[in-house]
Amino acid sequence: MGEFKVHRVRFFDYVPSGVRCMAYAEETSKLALARNDGSVEVLNFSSFYYQEKVIPGDESRSIESICWAAGNRLFTAGLNGEITEYDLEKLCVKYTLDAYGGPIWNIAANACNTHLAVSCEDGSVKLFIITSDHIRFEKNLDRQKGRLLCLAWHPLGTHIVTGSVNKIQVFNASSGHLQHVLKLDSRPLAGRKRECVVWSVAVLSSGHVISVDSSGKLLLWDLEKGTLIHTHSVANCDILSLAVSKAEDSLVVGTAEGVVFQFEHISLKTGESERQWVRTKPFRFHTHDVRAVAHSSTAIISGGVDGHLVIRPLMEKIEVKSYEAALRKITFPHHHLVSCAQKSGRLLFQFPEHLELWQLGKTDISGRDGDVLPVKKKQELLLKLKRKGTESIRCSCVSHCGSWISYTTSSQLYLHQLHCEKDNLSLRRVPRLPQLPSAPLKLLFSPDSKRLYVGSEGGCVHVLELSDGACKLGPTLQPPSETANRSLSSVHLMAVSINGTYLAVATPSSQIDIYNTHIMKHECSVPRYSCPPSALSIHPTTENLVIAYADQQLMEFNINQRQYTEWGRRVLKNGLHRDWLERDTPILGIRFNPSRPEDILMHDNYMFCVLDKSLPLPDDKTPLFNQITLKHLSERAQKSQAHAFKITKKFQPLMFMDLLSDGDLVLVERPISDIVANLPPPMKQKKFGT
């Protein structure tokens, strides 16, 4: 499959931030997810769970709750006491509004999307009216003693139920008066004072209230009478999250031990009309606390402190076998957090709060295939650059020569120049950067390091001309036609050809524009596909644009002839291998091997692939992963059985791949056990025989 000297980089200390809360919108099939570091992500379930939008976090904003309202508007509330609405076009905060009730624990919109309710630390529930572009305070409900940790609307909007320590309160939403206080069992156990924290509540249209609490019980209450109907002991640890399906026939709870339980509303005997909630299946996909669950019509979604997002389809609700019928576990972001200076062999790692620049190690020994070469010069941390202010870093980039570093937060662009003189490194921030017309979202240096392309909203790219120690704003590249889908038109991928002639710009609406950067003009557009592109790259010699889409489809586009290439058409006609299409994660990076122009190097989180265009494409009958079996065959058999996809799964989980100027391959791995070692402590579980 081609021989490379591989830098197996394992010093990128990436730890995913834990999932704090989630909200699923059935109409748009989008999942909004907030993490502990305050970042917000939107995943589109209809385009193969692709991470469409990422809004970076802010240190001052700790999100506790997230909700969709009025179609496509996203609100969060957090312990800083503010309600935040996001601009999903510009990927930034639209406005924040102080609720004046202290830290906010929960935010929820009613079913008809007219009101938002927030529950606060000071014991008040505040109602806000959703107007067309803002929200307005309406009223307070009867104030309670103590913090209100969770909140739920009645599906008809008549009642609001809140949960606090040892108590559940039922309010009348229209009058704002307290109707019932439901008291939980807080008798001391074994002489120890016990607090029962209600972590989540839900109200069903049948007039039942469901609550989960820190004693590991799921309780079913009557809303009108205020009485306890049923108790389910679920676990010995806290139950932290609860979600009910829209049809109200199934619910999921997430526990501190990492187990997710499903309950179904079914009749115990066939033919009987009376139904009960029955615990059906436990799902153990998490190692740490499950702090957020959501329920779509066909799947249960859970997110935990371990940073995993798990989508488990419910088989009885899926009719056709499709991509959605398999379990998906999303751990790593769908964009690169690493960039590489190919000429100088440096890697730039992006963390939310700082950047790290590393010099790769060296060896002067060569060996046979599979040998582990001893490192002569170890890798070296050259630079640690802390961000300014409280905003997290959105995107970062290092130039090919390794002498420019640029990063952007949600509001500002930073550019630094690196001088390197004989082990003496000095960094200088380029002062007075020109004011950009719109917020920077994606960065890319041209191969000659004389330009910085800044991708922005609306598919446009600002060009910054770099000279020694200074920076000037050049022209803005704009797509010729206004894109149909404004909300998905922010630039999320860019690629530039090695001679710097062409720049390809992609947006999640799968609009891909190609510009000629010599004359700063739009050259052509790639025919639009139904799925967002996940990676793209321009071939150094043939200048073909290779695109990987989120549904694992591959395309090759000839820029000069403005059409798909012959090979690309063959791929489209034959279709790709079934195993290829059913892979877990989208292709994250594409590179080319200068010594073998017919090869395309690709990677996702769990495999590295060399696609040899000169070999025939495999059909569904031949195995896709055949590299190990090929090794044991004779030369002739090897020739007859070889196909285009040469895949290795030796390097896992893979976060980045690039080819250095001297032909060395750089693969950045992040083993899961290293991540687990850096997470908060999990619950202690007794295992037999340990």
Partner 1 sequence: MSPDSEDEEAPEEVTFQSAKSQAVDTARKVRQAAKREKDLLKEKRKLKQELFTEQKKRKLLDEDILQTVSALPDKPYETSKDEDVAQDKGNALMNDQMKKKPQKRELKPKIRLQENYKVVHLEDYSHKNLQQQKAKEFVQHALYGRIKNRTTANEFLSVASKKGVVKKPAFHFSDQTWGEAEKKKSERFNLLWRDRKKL
Q: Nearest CA to 37 among 17, 22, 53, 51?
A: 17
**Residue 333 contacts partner 1 per CB under 8 A:** no
Of residues 121, 448, 543, 551, which one binds partner 1 by CB under 8 A? Answer: 121
State the maximum Cα–Cα separation within the chain, in Å, rounded to a whole number: 84
CB of 585 to partner 1, least distance (A): 23
User: Considering beta carbons, is residue 430 or 683 the nearer one to partner 1?
Assistant: 683
Q: Nearest CA to 548 among 334, 256, 244?
A: 334
Select the span of 65-73, 556-564, 602-610, 672-680 touching partner 1 (CB under 8 A): 672-680
Select the span of 102-110, 482-490, 513-521, 611-619 touching partner 1 (CB under 8 A): 102-110
The string of DSSP codes covering 291-330 is: EEEEE-SSEEEEEETT--EEEEE-GGG--S-SGGGS-EEE
Sequence-distant (≥ 6) Cβ neighbours of residue 420 within 8 angstroms: 402, 403
User: Considering beta carbons, is residue 474 or 682 the nearer one to partner 1?
Assistant: 682
Do the strands 63-69 and 73-78 form a parallel or antiparallel pair, or are they unpaired? Answer: antiparallel
**Residue 612 contacts partner 1 per CB under 8 A:** no
Residue at token pair 């779509």: 296
Do the strands 250-255 and 665-669 form a parallel or antiparallel pair, or are they unpaired? Answer: unpaired
**Residue 256 contacts partner 1 per CB under 8 A:** yes
Q: Nearest CA to 523 among 556, 501, 492?
A: 501
Q: Mind spelling out the 3-state secondary structure of 67-99?
A: EEECCCEEEEEECCCEEEEEECCCCEEEEEEEC
DSSP state of 342: T
**Residue 259 contacts partner 1 per CB under 8 A:** no
User: Considering beta carbons, is residue 47 or 287 the nearer one to partner 1?
Assistant: 287
Tokens of 579: 């195993």
CB of 684 to partner 1, least distance (A): 4
Tokens of 211: 């609550």
CB of 676 to partner 1, least distance (A): 6
**x/- letters, 193..232, toward partner 1 (CB under 8 A):** ----x----------------x------------------
**Which residue type sits at 193?**
K
Q: Are 61 and 79 in contact (CB under 8 A)?
A: no
According to CB under 8 A, which residues from 133 to 162 bind partner 1?
A: 147
According to CB under 8 A, which residues from 234 to 253 bind partner 1?
A: 237-238
Tokens of 415: 């550019």
**x/- letters, 23..62, toward partner 1 (CB under 8 A):** ---------------------------------------x
CB of 254 to partner 1, least distance (A): 13
CB of 193 to partner 1, least distance (A): 10
**Residue 308 contacts partner 1 per CB under 8 A:** no
Which three-class secondary structure state does DSSP give residue 54?
A: strand
According to CB under 8 A, which residues from 57 to 96 bind partner 1?
A: 62, 79-81
Task: Give the interface with partner 1 as residue ranges (CB under 8 A).
Answer: 62, 79-81, 102-103, 105, 121-122, 147, 192, 197, 214, 237-238, 256, 287, 289, 673, 676-685, 687, 689-690
